[in-house]
Structures are given as structure tokens and as C-alpha cells.
Structure 1
């Protein structure tokens, strides 16, 4: 059993090393003539929409840019902030949505509404808390076209301020960098290896039209991953890429927000109860078991621990986060196991932006 644990940790290290050196990074800054539409759904985002819109206005080398902002029944000052931020820029339009369609979740319903009015050949789904570098859209669209893919998801840098954020947020990047061989997933797409991030997600309009927009994910909490799976099922190809150099976001600012945010989605992240059990065993095996072996006096525990810590370091370097927190991986794993259990205990009752999910 101890040797099997070592083999598991060593394989994870090999995957992380391969991805570290081969992950796609959007570098091409050439001007983009392809029409691009950004879909920006917002609900009670008065603190975020101003900086987000400013980032979109600052985009350069995108000759045909359309930005559709879907205001999903905000009850704060989001509408007023938007009006001031947009001014007279004709590239921007705001749709006042009437709330989600029957049986739909709010975000995907808003995206579907915006998609119906889009004119671009490339559709970009963007979250309001994402901040783009001035060349972000040009580099991301060029990457999509240079690789001849149907979708790409440049993974933004995840800003972490508090101790709990620094323990949990790096696990998002690490989870796919250490378990999915990205070049293989790109060349031979499969639903089980689909990875994407709805914070910054580019899709060819024709590929999205082929699956009837966001219909297939109308009630999916993890709409980004499920959308990638729907696209792959329909014959599209795509991959997650390293977007930490062109975009960043701070998802949560304290542990309560982390608990609510992860609580609404983790029970759906692994495909059901069996998947959650398997994922929890994997997290325990790679995060807690090496520490237990070390405490029990087994040297192989140190080897397994260092293998996993190195995968976290590699991920942190690529994601531009603090690599020192890699060595607190057992604590991160324990906290993630708690969040999985919390999500299952609270499923269907958590409030998010004023709605039960």
C-alpha cells in the first residue's frame, strides 16, 4: 500500500512536469480582424463592473469588438455604475434581463440572452471580477485561431489575500495541471478530461450554435466544465491554457465567501456521490496519507510528500502564485475535504447573490 501511494504521487509529478513545459500560453499579440463578442453577465456587481468595463475599453488590436452586458435583476447600483462606466462607447450595450428562464440558473440564462444578440465569430464569456490586460483578448483570440481549436479557456491568475484563500485557491489550478495531460486532451478530446473556466472562456460562435447556445447547461452549477463537455460531445476541440499573464481575478475575500462559493458547487463537481467519494479518497491519499506515514516514521512518506509538494510548486510558478504554500498541502487538502463535506450537507440550500442554488 505504501509503495502504491509512492507510485501515485510520482505519476502525478510526471504529469505536472510534462504540463509545466508544454502548457499552451497565449503569446501572439498580432491585431485581430475577426469580429469578437464579449458576454458579461452581472448581478449585484457594483464593485466590479467599473474596473471590468475599464479593462474591456482598454483592449487594443481588436478591430471589431462588441460587448454585451446582461444585467440580471441587480438590486444594488450596478446599473448606475455601468451607465457611467460605458458612457458613449458604441461598442457596449446593456440588456436588462427579467431573471432566469424557467428551470435555468441565472448566469447561463443571462449568457444565453446575450448570445442571441451577438454578432461576433468568437464569443467570450467573461466574469465581472476578472481584470484583463490590454492585449488579453487579442492574444486569446490569436491562440484560438493559431491552434485551430473551437474553444480555449485561458485560466486567469487567482489572486489570494487571506490565509484561507492562499490555502484553497491554488488547488484550482493544481487540480487539472497535475491530473490531465493537456496536450493529449487537446488532440484527443474526451468528456472525462474536459477542463475550462467560465471566468474567461472563448468559443467559436458556430461551435456554440451547434449545441444551441447554453441550453445544454441550463441547470448546471458547474456550467463551464459542462459546456466544454457538451462542445466535445458535439465534435469540438478545445483546451485550458495558461492565462495568468493576461488576466487575473480575486474570487473570494474571506473564508465565509470561500465556504459559500465552494459549497454551492463542490457537490456537483465530481458527477455524483460515488465521484465525490473517489475524489475525496484521492485528496486524502495525496494530501494526508504522506503526512501520516511521516509521523509513523516511514521515509517513503517524505518522498511522497515531496513529490506532491513539487507538483504544487510547478503549478504555483505557472499560475504566478506563492510557491511556499505548496508545502502546506496537507492543510489545504484537509480544508478541501471539509468544503466537499459542507457542500454535500448544504446542497440545495445555499444562497448565492440572493438566490438559492
Structure 2
């Protein structure tokens, strides 16, 4: 098992290097000649929203820009901050509305209601924890139009400070660089060949409408992946791209928010307990088993472990993340991912998964036939 895992880790490392070369880079900024609508959904983001909006409103090379902020029932003063900025800049509009209806999760609901008001030919979705570079929006639109794609997701540079963050966060960009064939993903409508990041997502407005918008993914925890899949189903094409120089984000400050953030969504990444278990078993076979064999003196195990480290280093350097010494702990990162996935399914099973103060779904029960169903 260690031998096959080591060989597999070497193959994955080589694939990571190929993807790092193929990853689409945004061209230099040029003036955007069309109207761009930026959608920012917020809920209790008082500590982040000012920085995010100030950066967006300072965007260069976008002469016709509107920023639509949908305040989703914030209770921490977010609305006061946003309305003050809106009073100073007519490009910024603040929208509010009711609680999400049945079948809707908060973020898709906020995005859908804001997108309904968008008047641009391009819609850019941004999260409140993202700081966009001065030319970030223009270069994202240029990438969209220059590639002929319908949706591009420039992956922001991910900041990680504490030890738990440094162990887990790099797995985000590593996972699609290591495991997703990028060029095939652009052309294929297969759901499995999809990667996107809702932190910064640029989509042609007409393609967004054809796909059904966020109404088509109203109950999706991973709404970014679901939206790209909807675009593909409607005949469009899209893919993740390099956003290292376009935007920066710091998702989670420490262990507790990181744990809760991943626990709300990792179950959805697997789709079923069996699929999640299979994914984790595959990662363990490729990156944990060789490391254990290396500790027992296996040279092939050592080669497999170093291949895993090399893949992490390639992904980190390509996406502007820290590589040393964090990559050396890659087997530990995979193990921690397994723990978080188990916690995610446990909370999903018990119906206790929450985000921004809202329950995400009801408990999951098993029928006598072993199938699962959700309590309404």
C-alpha cells in the first residue's frame, strides 16, 4: 500500500506542476468599456466591510461601476458603516430585504436579490473578507472577456496566520491545483470537474441569467461551485484562475472560526458520507501512508512523502502562499481535514450546523433501507 501510495503521490505532484503552468493568469489592466456591477452580500461584517468597500470603490480602469451591497439582517452596525459610505459615493447602493424564504440559504438569497438590481453586462461577486487590488476588478473582467469564458473565478491570495490556519487553509488552492485537470474543466460540463471560489467571482450577466442565477442554487451551501455547475449546464464554460495579484482574503482568524467554517460546508463537498470517506481514504493513501512508511525507514515511503511536500510547495508558490515550513506538515494537514470532515457530517447529522446565527439545515435521518432524507 505504501508503494502504490508513493507512486500516486509522485503522479499528483507532477500534475500539480503541470496545472501551475496551465493556470490562467489575468493580463495587464486595460480600461473596461462596459458597465460592471459588483455584488457584495453582508451579514454582521462590521469589522471588515469598510476595508472591502473602500478597496472596491478605489478600483481603477472601470469607468462605469456600480457596487450593490445587500445587508442581510445585520445586527452589529454593518448597515451604519455601509450607508455612510453610500452617502459619500453615488456608485454604492445599499439594499435590504426579508429573511430568506423556505429552501433558501442566506448567501444565495442575498446574492440573488442584489443581482436582480444589477444593470451591468458583467457581475462580480465579492465577499466582505476580500480586499481587491486597485486593478483587480478590471483585470478580472479582462480575463473573462479575453478567454471567451462565461465565468472566471480568480482565486484570491489566502492569508493564514495561526498554526491551524497554516495547516488547513493552503489545502484550498492545493486541492484544485493538484487534483483538477484545469483545461478539461473549462470544457467539461461534468459536476466533478468544477472549482470556483465565491470570494471573487466574475460572470457574464447574460450567462448568469441563462443559468438561473442564484435562484438555481438557492439551497446550496457551496453556492460558488453550484453556480458554475449551473452555468455549465446551460451551455456556458468557466474555471478557476489565478487571482493572487487581484485580491487578498483572510477567511478565519484562529481555530474556532476555522473549525466552524469548515464544519458547515465539508459535508457538502463530499455529497454523501460514503463519498467523503472515499475522498479521505484516497488522500490518506497518497499522503499519509507514505509518510508513516518513511518514519519506518522506507525509502519509497520517503519519496512519496517528499512528493506530497513538493506538490504543496508548487501550489503555495504559484498562489502566493507560505510554503516553508508549512508544506512539511502536509500529512498532518490531511489528517486535520479528515477530522473537520467528520465533525461536519456529525453536525449535519444532528442538524446543529450554523452560520452567521442561522441553522443551515435540519437533522438527517436514515430510513430502514439506509437512504437519507432531511427533515423539513
Question: Do both share a fold (TM > 0.5)?
Answer: yes
SS of residue matched to 1:94 = strand
What is the alpha-carbon distance in structure 2 between the residues aligned to residue 190 and residue 172 of structure 1?
20
* 1:82-231 pair list within 5 angstroms: 82-231=82-231
Shift of 1:26: 1.0
Give the equivalent residue in structure 2 for 1:270.
Answer: 270
Would the aligned equivalents of 2:2 and 2:290 in 1 still touch at CA under 8 Å? no
Give the equivalent residue in structure 1 for 2:352.
Answer: 349
Would the aligned equivalents of 2:86 and 2:94 in 1 still touch at CA under 8 Å? no
What is the alpha-carbon distance in structure 2 between the residues aligned to residue 48 and residue 98 of structure 1?
23
Structure 1 residue runs of 5 or longer lacking an equivalent are none
Would the aligned equivalents of 1:283 and 1:337 in 2 still touch at CA under 8 Å? no
1:332 aligns with 2:333: yes
Structure 1 residues 148-190: Cα deviation after superposition (integer angstroms, max 9, x where no partner): 0000000001101111100100000000000012122224443
Would the aligned equivalents of 1:189 and 1:238 in 2 still touch at CA under 8 Å? no
RMSD value over aligned CA atoms?
A: 1.1
Would the aligned equivalents of 1:287 and 1:334 in 2 still touch at CA under 8 Å? no
Normalising to structure 1: TM-score of the pair?
0.98
Structure 1 residues 26-47: Cα deviation after superposition (integer angstroms, max 9, x where no partner): 1230100111111100000111
What is the alpha-carbon distance in structure 1 between the residues aligned to residue 68 and residue 99 of structure 2?
16
What is the alpha-carbon distance in structure 1 between the residues aligned to residue 94 and residue 259 of structure 2?
31
Give the equivalent residue in structure 2 for 1:309.
Answer: 309
What is the alpha-carbon distance in structure 2 between the residues aligned to residue 262 and residue 33 of structure 1?
39
Structure 1 residues 181-226: Cα deviation after superposition (integer angstroms, max 9, x where no partner): 2122224443211100000001111111112211221111011111
What is the alpha-carbon distance in structure 1 between the residues aligned to residue 211 and residue 244 of structure 2?
29
What is the alpha-carbon distance in structure 1 between the residues aligned to residue 104 and residue 255 of structure 2?
28
Shift of 1:307: 0.8
Would the aligned equivalents of 1:52 and 1:128 in 2 still touch at CA under 8 Å? yes
Normalising to structure 2: TM-score of the pair?
0.93
Structure 1 residues 17-61: Cα deviation after superposition (integer angstroms, max 9, x where no partner): 101112111123010011111110000011111001100111011
What is the alpha-carbon distance in structure 1 between the residues aligned to residue 111 and residue 6 of structure 2?
44
Shift of 1:85: 2.5
Would the aligned equivalents of 1:207 and 1:236 in 2 still touch at CA under 8 Å? yes
Give the equivalent residue in structure 1 for 2:365.
Answer: none
